[in-house]
Amino acid sequence: MNQSKPKLFPVLLAAALAFSLTACDAFAGLPGGPPKVEPLSELEDWGTLEYFEYRFGSFNEGQWEYRIERKEAKGEEGKGATEPTCLFTTRGYSSADMYMEEYVDASVLDDIAQIIAENGILSWDGFEKRDLDILDGFGFRLEAEFTEGALFATGYEKYPKDYSRGHQALSSYLDALAS
């Protein structure tokens, strides 16, 4: 009779690999350990915000779209350039009927960049998830173009970490700006 003996080598190999990975993580922060590479998360690493677009809502509850883009300063004929400005466009659809387009001070993009940094929105970058089983749910799309990179996130009934906090901060600021 040929009895099968458990093979100990694969089990020991897996345990050794798990231990070594854990040990590497544990010692990485100690002097002499490999330096940790920090993700591009600090606002100054991204540069200046040049373009921002945020859309959110649902068909029944209304949909909002806010867009802010930096424009070159233009001076009056025969005079020097004025302060830089931004074109602010907002649209509402379904039960959120509205349209507005006006020039605002360039500091608005600085305010938006600060909101992005303070509310964990930089961590949304690359988020792209949808629950297509829900027919009339809530969705969002965020795009921010900085001089040193771009931030993009979209979701439909799926949300990145800190979405509620970031959405509240952005929508409050943008609603006030549109008023």
Higher pLDDT, 37 or 74: 74
Q: Residues 43-70: what's their mean pLDDT?
A: 88
Higher pLDDT, 140 or 93: 140
- Burial (CB < 10 A; 0-12, 13-18, 19+), residue 122, is buried
pLDDT of residue 146: 94
CATH: 2.30.29, 3.30.1560, 1.10.10, 3.30.43. Which one for 43-71+83-178?
Answer: 3.30.1560
pLDDT of residue 115: 95
Taking only the tens place, the pLDDT of each residue in 114-141 is 999 999 999 999 999 999 898 888 999 9
pLDDT of 77 > 60? The answer is no
pLDDT of residue 9: 42
Rounded Cα–Cα distance for residues 161 and 121 (Å): 9
Taking all residues of the chain, what is their mean pLDDT, rounded to a whole number?
76
Q: Which two tokens stand for residue 12?
A: 């020991």
Q: Residues 97-121: what's their mean pLDDT?
A: 90
Taking only the tens place, the pLDDT of each residue in 7-18 is 544 433 343 333
Q: Residues 62-74: what's their mean pLDDT?
A: 84
pLDDT of residue 170: 96
Q: Residues 75-98: what's their mean pLDDT?
A: 71
pLDDT of residue 88: 92
pLDDT of residue 75: 54
R_g (Cα) of the chain, nearest Å: 24
φ, ψ for residue 169 (rounded to 5)? -65, -45
Rounded Cα–Cα distance for residues 174 and 88 (Å): 10
